[in-house]
Chain A
Amino acid sequence: MSLQSKLESGKFAVSCEFGPLKGTDTQEIQENIEVLKGKVDAANVTDQQSSVMRLCSLVTSALCVQGGLEPIFQVTCRDRNRIALQSDLLGAWVMGIKNVLALTGDLPDLGDHPQAKGVFDLDSVTLLQAIARLNEGFDLAGNELKGKPAFFPGAVVKVESNTEAAAELQIAKLQKKITAGARFIQTQAVYDAETFEKFMQRVEKFKVKVPVMVGIIPLKSAGSARFMNANVAGIRVPDTLIAKMDAVAKEDRAKTGIRIAADLIKQMKPMCQGVHIMAIGWEKRVPEIMAEAGL
Chain B
Amino acid sequence: MILSEQKPFDEILTYLEKDKNVFIVGCEGCAQSSGSGGPQQVAEMKQKLTEAGKNVTGTKSIDFLCEKALIKSELKGKIDQLKAADAILVMTCGIGVQCVAAAINKPVYPACNTVNLGGTRGEWKGSERCYECGQCLLYHTGGICPLTACTKSLVSGACGGANNGKCEVSPDRDCGWELIYNRLKERGLLHRLNEMMKPLDHRKLMPRPEMMSTPRYGLENPPKAEKPAEEVKA
Q: Which residues of A contact B (CB under 8 A)?
A: 82, 104, 106-107, 109-110, 118, 120-126, 140, 156-158, 162-163, 165-166, 168-170, 172-173, 175-176, 179-180, 188, 231-234
Contacts and interface: CB of A to CB of B under 8 A. Distances in A.
Contacts of A82: 199
Closest 7 CB pairs of A and B: A125-B156, A173-B157, A165-B181, A165-B178, A169-B158, A172-B193, A233-B163
B196 A176 contact: yes
A234 B158 CA distance: 13
Interface of B: 151-165, 168-169, 175, 177-178, 181-182, 185, 190, 193-194, 196-200, 202
A173 to B, nearest CB: 4
A118 B156 contact: no
Given A123-B199, A124-B156, A156-B160, 19 more contacts: A104-B154, A107-B151, A110-B169, A121-B200, A123-B157, A126-B156, A163-B164, A165-B178, A166-B165, A168-B181, A169-B157, A169-B178, A169-B181, A169-B193, A170-B158, A180-B196, A231-B163, A232-B163, A234-B160
B156 A169 contact: no
B156 A173 contact: yes
B152 A104 contact: yes
Nearest to B153: A120
A1 B156 CA distance: 34
A169 B181 CA distance: 7
16 contacts: A104-B152, A106-B168, A107-B151, A122-B199, A123-B154, A123-B155, A123-B199, A124-B159, A125-B156, A162-B164, A163-B162, A163-B165, A165-B178, A165-B181, A173-B158, A173-B160
A74 B51 CA distance: 57
Contacts of B194: 172, 175-176
B161 A121 contact: no
Contact of B152 (A107, A170, A176): A107
B156 A170 contact: no
A47 to B, nearest CB: 14
Interface SS of B by simple majority: loop
Contact of B169 (A109, A175, A179): A109
A158 B151 CA distance: 19
A140 B201 CA distance: 12
**Most chain A CB within a 10 A radius of its CB, from B154, B160, B198:** B160
A200 B19 CA distance: 70
B162 A166 contact: yes
Nearest to A231: B163
B168 A107 contact: yes
A219 to B, nearest CB: 19
B165 A118 contact: no
B152 A120 contact: yes
A233 B196 contact: no
Contacts of A231: 163
A179 to B, nearest CB: 6
B229 to A, nearest CB: 12
Contacts of B178: 163, 165-166, 169
A28 to B, nearest CB: 27
Contacts of A110: 168-169
Given A165-B178, A165-B181, A168-B181, A123 B156 contact: yes
A81 B202 CA distance: 11
Contacts of A140: 199
B175 A104 contact: no
Contact of B177 (A157, A169, A180): A169
A126 B197 CA distance: 8
